[in-house]
Amino acid sequence: MKVSLIIPVRYRADLTAVCIDSVVKYTDIPHEIVLVQEGIDEEITELLKSYDAKFVHNKEPKGFAGAMNSGLAVSEGDYLCFLNNDVVVIPGWLECMMKAFEDKQVGLVAPVLSEGNKRQHLDAREGREKEFDYVEDPLSLKGVCFLVRRSVIDNVGTWDESFGMGGGDDSDFCYRIAKAGYKLVIARKSFLYHYGSASFRELFDNDIPRSKKYAEEQFSKFKKKHSGGRKTNVDGEKPRVYVAVFPGNGWVWHELSLVLLHWSHDSDMTVKIRYYPFLSPLDNARNQAVKDSLEDYWDYVLQIDNDIVPPVDCLRELLAADKDIIAPLCMTMKPDSNGLMVPMPVAHRYDKDGKYRPYYGRGVEETDVVTGGMFLVKREVYEKLERPFEFTYHKDGTVIYSEDFVFSQKCQKAGYKLYTHYGMICKHMKILDVKGINDLLVHVTNLNERRE
């Protein structure tokens, strides 16, 4: 048994040296190192040739997938380890990953990372108590380090070089392996320090917005390849929904918890639930949820407040409506002219004066505002909005429009229509403490006395 360690290199000779030195020092099982240089850089060429390793030089860069395939072509191992050049390995890193192949159905193994997505991160809660965390969602793995049986590659094919410089090719690689019936695994006892997108930082001159836009375009390539042109899920797969819950005070209404549990076990969709407790202001929390969902390539993002209780079938109905932006009917508590708290729909249309007015509709109808209590948005909407949520303020610091109203305005400006499903009515669990009730009674009593 032999492992071929394939390391593509285009930038950062300093990080590359640290990476290869750690591999040489801490890899004890039989292996060979294959170094693939992309482009022309004399410093990197001299560095790579100083190691006892196979050397491949693509003077005309082929991109990440092309570099991996170049290394694969000269490799001899029974297992292939595709490794970024901005990582540092630790003792036992490869042994822990190799152990996963004792399960003959495992086709690909990835390690835990210091910098990575939520599932693969060192601090990830999901699966952390296990030695091997079996991954159902192939898009949740990051191509920093993949260990694969050669027989798997013989079956599913090599890396797809149509992805160019890189990005999306790792999702494609994992997706094809999973579709072929192999299991994907995270070896939770194998840890790599990951510097994080070092080559792309160089490639885009540390221009983060430009790099982000490129990554989104690359994922669009992946979706187009596997969806046959459909806008949402790929190749007939279940819709993938990222559910962000905002318990600003740290708690979630128990009825909502039961609904979320039901959604997470729905066999017709893939649902990931993440809580954002104590994160304020709310626009910051919402934008963080959008960022997390985009980085993990979810098809839809559903944002919901901690005191909203939707019908159990609400998510299914919103998905079935197939709208870019849609919300159920949520109610908020507002004081009437007598100071009494009454429920009011958060579904508005502009009146003739351009002001928002509550609107009651039937079925799925277009509105001018979607409620911040709960709303479902397709991924491509967030890809086009630079900062989706923000409050606007008067000079005295009071709020003009809340973050959900501003989001609605931005969506309309970008050409999207907003919809409310009036058949899906949510409970809004507003809590009144003793002092609040007492103050309300005093207020109403004073009003009545003045009338008399």
| 286, 292 contact by CB (below 8 A) | no
Q: pLDDT value at position 234?
A: 52
Distance CA 367, CA 419 (A): 5
3-206 maps to CATH 3.90.550.10? yes
Q: Sorting pLDDT into bands at 50, 70 and 90, what band is 142?
A: confident
pLDDT at 297 over 50: yes
| 324, 311 contact by CB (below 8 A) | no
Distance CA 124, CA 292 (A): 14
Q: List 367's β-bridge partners, or say none.
A: 418
Q: List 36's β-bridge partners, or say none.
A: 8, 56
* Choice among 207-211, 212-216, 278-282 with the minimum mean pLDDT: 207-211
pLDDT at 398 over 70: yes
Neighbours of 81 (CB within 10 A): 25
Q: pLDDT value at position 430?
A: 59
Distance CA 449, CA 109 (A): 75
Pairing of strands 374-378, 325-329: antiparallel
pLDDT at 446 over 90: no
| 40, 108 contact by CB (below 8 A) | no
Buried b (16+ CB within 10 A) or exposed e, 94-104: bebbbbbbeee
Cα of 248 vs its chain's centroid, Å: 21
* CATH 3.90.550.40-classified regions of the chain: 240-435
Q: Sorting pLDDT into bands at 50, 70 and 90, what band is 116?
A: low
Distance CA 426, CA 370 (A): 13
Angle between helices 208-227 and 169-179 (to 10 degrees): 30
* Choice among 23-37, 112-126, 258-272 with the minimum mean pLDDT: 112-126
pLDDT at 232 over 50: no
pLDDT tens-digit readout, 300-336? 999 999 989 999 999 999 999 999 999 999 877 677 6
Longest dimension (CA), the chain: 97
Identity of the highest mean pLDDT range in 100-114, 222-236, 322-336: 100-114
Which of residues 72 and 227 earns the better pLDDT score?
72
Instruction: Name the amino acid, one letter, at 135.
Output: V
Q: List 326's β-bridge partners, or say none.
A: 376, 419
Distance CA 72, CA 54 (A): 11
Residue at token pair 């985009």: 294
Residue 440's SS3 state is helix
Q: Which of 22, 86, 77 is nearest to 54 (CA)?
A: 77
Helix (H) or strand (E) holding 356: strand 356-358
| 171, 219 contact by CB (below 8 A) | yes
Q: pLDDT value at position 258?
A: 95
H helix runs in 81-168, sequence order:
93-98, 150-156
Which of residues 277 and 279 earns the better pLDDT score?
277
Q: pLDDT value at position 332?
A: 73
Distance CA 129, CA 138 (A): 21
Distance CA 33, CA 29 (A): 12
Torsion, Cα of 300, 304, 308, 313 (10° steps): 10
Q: pLDDT value at position 48?
A: 95
Pairing of strands 183-194, 106-113: parallel
Distance CA 305, CA 248 (A): 9
CATH code of the domain occupying 240-435: 3.90.550.40
